[in-house]
Chain A
Amino acid sequence: DMKVTQMPRYLIKRMGENVLLECGQDMSHETMYWYRQDPGLGLQLIYISYDVDSNSEGDIPKGYRVSRKKREHFSLILDSAKTNQTSVYFCASRDRGYEQYFGPGTRLTVL
């Protein structure tokens, strides 16, 4: 059963703290994504990773960075989190086909 996992599912941080969101997939998919979802805005692409150490900015990369050292893991890092980064973050992966498979999401609150 194809699966994308995300940890943690819920996170509360104070402004200025560092944040690490983890994503894993067990399908050996090459391409992985990080999105954020805000009310009324749908899903906005933050970063794409084409494989290990091959990452590309999405539409809203400012304030974020990513790391992919193993094909099955893709991390999103917020250095010195800001209150406007409060959101729900989704990770996704895609095989050589067309569909993206999404993780369950991480709800991040920055106080």
Chain B
Amino acid sequence: AQKVTQTQTSISVMEKTTVTMDCVYETQDSSYFLFWYKQTASGEIVFLIRQDSYKKENATVGHYSLNFQKPKSSIGLIITATQIEDSAVYFCAMREDLSGSFNKLTFGAGTRLAVCP
């Protein structure tokens, strides 16, 4: 069974610095997809970035990037030059590529990020 674990409950950083949020996952599948979502204070959940397991290059979108360490089953989210509006809860999620599981996302418990001025 797939499992996603985010051990950091909350993080606080100063504005304009870089922050890394950790996520480890468990899967029996050799092909899977990893996602990060952001939930704002209003409750809105927004997709941020995706990493495909077969890709060696770390995904990057804007000031979000990933640190994919496949041997460690780890997918960290890196936010550079943080802004106040990056304050939110960040969820890591995984989807396996198995038949019957292809449509299912498993989420971690989330990490609350506070960016301070």
A residues bordering B, Cβ < 8 Å? 31, 33, 40-45, 48, 50, 58, 88, 90, 92, 94, 98-102, 104-105
CA distance A40 to B37 in the complex (A): 16
B16 → chain A closest CB, angstroms? 29
Contact with A along B73-117 (1 / 0, CB 8 A): 000000000000000000101010000000111111110000000
Say whether chain B's binding surface is mostly helix, strand, loop, or mixed.
strand
Q: A100 to chain B: which residues have CB within 8 Å?
A: 47, 105
Q: Which residue of chain A has its CB nearest to the CB of B105? A: A100
Q: Which of B44, B95, B110 contacts A42 (CB 8 A)?
A: B110
Interface residue count on the B side (C-beta < 8 Å) = 21
Q: Which of B45, B106, B108, B109 contacts A102 (CB 8 A)?
A: B45
CA distance A58 to B50 in the complex (A): 22
Q: Which residue of chain B has its CB nearest to the CB of A88? A: B43
Known: A31-B103, A94-B103. Is A42-B47 also a contact (CB below 8 A)? Answer: no
Q: Are B104 and A98 neighbours in the complex by a CB distance under 8 Å? A: no
Any A CB within 8 A of the CB of B25:
no
Any A CB within 8 A of the CB of B33:
yes
Q: Are A43 and B103 neighbours in the complex by a CB distance under 8 Å? A: no
Q: Are A105 and B107 neighbours in the complex by a CB distance under 8 Å? A: no
Known: A45-B104, A48-B104, A94-B103. Is A40-B109 also a contact (CB below 8 A)? Answer: yes
Q: Are B104 and A58 neighbours in the complex by a CB distance under 8 Å? A: yes
Q: A58 to chain B: which residues have CB within 8 Å?
A: 104
Any A CB within 8 A of the CB of B35:
yes
